[in-house]
A and B are shown apart, each in its own frame.
Chain A
Amino acid sequence: MSDASQPTGPSPSQAVNRQVVAATTVPTDRPLTEADIDALMAYPAGEPPAMVINAIDVKKIYRQGTHETHALRGATLDIFKREYLSIMGPSGSGKSTLFNMIGALGKPSEGKVYIDQVDIAHLDTNELAWLRCRKVGYIFQSYNLIQVMTCLENVTLPMAFAGVEGDAARERGIRILKLVGLGHRILHKPAELSGGQQQRVAIARALANEPEIVLADEPTANLDQHTGQEMIELLARLKDELGVTIISATHDLKMLQQSDRILWIEDGRIVRAAKPSEVDFSSKEFDH
């Protein structure tokens, strides 16, 4: 890799300059080859944008006693700045695990994860905390709201960790909660909210410190059509207006259609990549 425009630091998967446009699927019955990965990771068009996250051959094995679960069997992917990336895959295919790995919440069993060209395995706990606090906003599949805190406190907590407190945090928290349509619920506890409302608090919290990357694990799963649509538009607007990179696991058609790129993951492997325009959303793969 000798391109001078490439940012310094590790240049993981040589994906940037490739100009593959077609939707790509690789067979799952054999190990992926270099060529497969190149094909999967090629950015659809034009200017090679900068990368924010690179995962190289990330494997994750959960061990319980003698039992091993291969949650990821070598995932390689590049995620670009300002990209709206959707990840699809059946239940148990490793989506949440992948999010944990690229979001610096867990350690891969093998492989490397770079965030902004920095190998996160080289970061100490302080730097990781900084990263988790300001650079990445997480929307967890199971929300993980702090049950004893009000919505507002849940949203201002990451601000407190970033050193923002008092009225400034309060105001910002209220503004974000209004943005997700919960302005009237700021002093309620999560337990007093519906699933969809809790999900929106989780979204609001992820945005608390104005992250550059939002990792959203099924962010619209519990929302009705209307609010789901609103959240999708909110994320799209964040991307367009603030240049936030959005990575989301989803089966939501609207969300898939909004995204710049869709990756399919199956049994811990990325098996297909495509632009929404290349996907036939009327096929029976998409009706549930």
Chain B
Amino acid sequence: MAAIPDQTKLPFKVALDVVLQGIRIRFGRSVVTISGVILGVAFLMSILSGIVLKEGVAEEDELRLEIQRMQNFLEAETGLVADRSFAVIPVGPLSTPEARFLERLKRSQASEIRLHDPRGLLTPAQADRLRTLPPDRLMEQASGLILMGSAAADDLDLDITTVMTGARQPVIALSNPRATPPAPAPGVSVIRLSRELRPEEIRAREEQARKDRFRDLWIIAISILVTVIGISNAMLMSVTERFREIGTMKCLGALSAFVRRMFIIESAIMGIVGGLLGSLGGFLFTLVAYLVTYSPGLVFTGLGQGLGLLAFAGAAAVVIGLVLSIIAAIYPANVAARMLPAVALRSNV
């Protein structure tokens, strides 16, 4: 024999077939390996979605607190809102807390909410169920006038004394912290329902936010590490325990490239399946945990706000799972592929 030809290079499909068949037959073992990937990715994903949900919930929490505070301040001056009437005059567009506060008032036990909106600042939805009255009848038997929005009340050219005629309680409440109070009128008390944060409060909050962000990053780093170790371990085990099989295949004429390709395909399949299931599982786990501790409304509002971020986190978790699986499999597969068949045959790891 003059020269020995090169061994046939097998098409991708052959490797895929061998892999799929292997996964099918080794189903129990494959499930264990995939579970390793699932657990790793699920852990990462539950941390990531926890952070996203917490953010949303925190914002919503803050908002609800703020509204509650506004109502508390109002009631401190007027008594419980139940069975009382209030009047609203928007002086500028409503901020989110103000809009929500108005909603809350509408849903409260207050007997009537009246409206004077000469500039048409409220949206139809906001104005819904409010009773529009002319300025001079606005406060008849009412317990308080709420000026909403951040412009100066005097811009409206209203005569406060006229407006206040017939009021049960001559109270003017400013719902926007940046609103300028109207010129003082005799017998009328002006209160603020919310106030700007003081600089040291803002600093303290920023400090806290920075700490939180740092802690989140730390937790993400740790969870990625846990994921790396979990997945590497699962893939490493599944390859090394097959050294003997690899050795046998090499004795039968398998090329190193074929062995390598086989394991890359296999780990990619495991990585994708495990990554998808893991990220879904991790997300659902966190969601349920939040639903148990927070009200569903709060959680879903937070979820709605963080949806983009969540999708990104999910995609990242899947990619991390996939890439890690392949990397963790390549190294031992390479070692095995390069082994002399006689050596691979005898290795029992």
Contact = CB atoms under 8 A, between A and B. Distances in A.
Interface of A: 100, 105-107, 116-118, 123, 125-127, 129-134, 138, 140, 144-149, 153, 157-158, 160-163, 165, 205, 209
A146 B14 CA distance: 17
Nearest to B26: A148
A133 B9 CA distance: 12
A266 to B, nearest CB: 22
Nearest to A104: B341
Given A144-B345, A148-B25, A118 B4 contact: yes
Interface size class of B (residues with CB under 8 A): 20 to 34
Nearest to B245: A146
Nearest to A142: B345
A133 B342 CA distance: 15
B10 A163 contact: yes
B94 to A, nearest CB: 68
B49 to A, nearest CB: 37
Contacts of B343: 106
Contacts of A165: 14
Contacts of A129: 7, 250, 253-255
Given A132-B252, A134-B253, 16 more contacts: A105-B340, A127-B7, A129-B254, A133-B252, A133-B253, A138-B252, A144-B244, A144-B248, A145-B248, A149-B21, A158-B252, A161-B10, A161-B249, A162-B253, A205-B252, A209-B253
A130 B245 contact: no
B291 interface: no
Contacts of B251: 105, 132, 138, 140, 144
Contacts of B26: 148
Interface string B250-285: 111111101000000000000000000000000000
Contacts of B258: 161
B4 A161 contact: no
B201 interface: no
A195 B201 CA distance: 80
Contact of B6 (A127, A161, A162): A127
Contacts of B18: 160
B253 A158 contact: yes
Shortest Cβ-Cβ A-B pairs, 7 listed:
A133-B253, A106-B342, A129-B7, A161-B253, A163-B8, A130-B7, A158-B252
B1 A161 contact: no
B134 interface: no
A149 B341 CA distance: 19
A126 B14 CA distance: 18
18 contacts: A105-B345, A126-B7, A126-B255, A127-B4, A130-B6, A133-B8, A144-B248, A145-B248, A146-B245, A146-B249, A147-B245, A148-B21, A149-B25, A158-B253, A160-B10, A161-B10, A161-B253, A163-B8
B305 to A, nearest CB: 49
A206 B10 CA distance: 20
A235 to B, nearest CB: 19
B297 to A, nearest CB: 52
B5 interface: yes
B8 A161 contact: yes
B248 A146 contact: yes
B308 interface: no
B22 A148 contact: yes
Interface string B17-35: 0100110011000000000
Contacts of B345: 105, 140, 144
Contacts of A144: 244, 247-248, 251, 345
Contact of A130 (B253, B256, B340): B253
A199 to B, nearest CB: 15
Contacts of B4: 118, 123, 127, 130-131
A144 B342 CA distance: 11
Nearest to B252: A158
Nearest to B13: A165
A125 B256 contact: yes
- Most chain-B CB neighbours within 10 Å: which of A126, A162, A163, A165? A126
B14 to A, nearest CB: 6
Nearest to A52: B1
Contacts of A134: 253
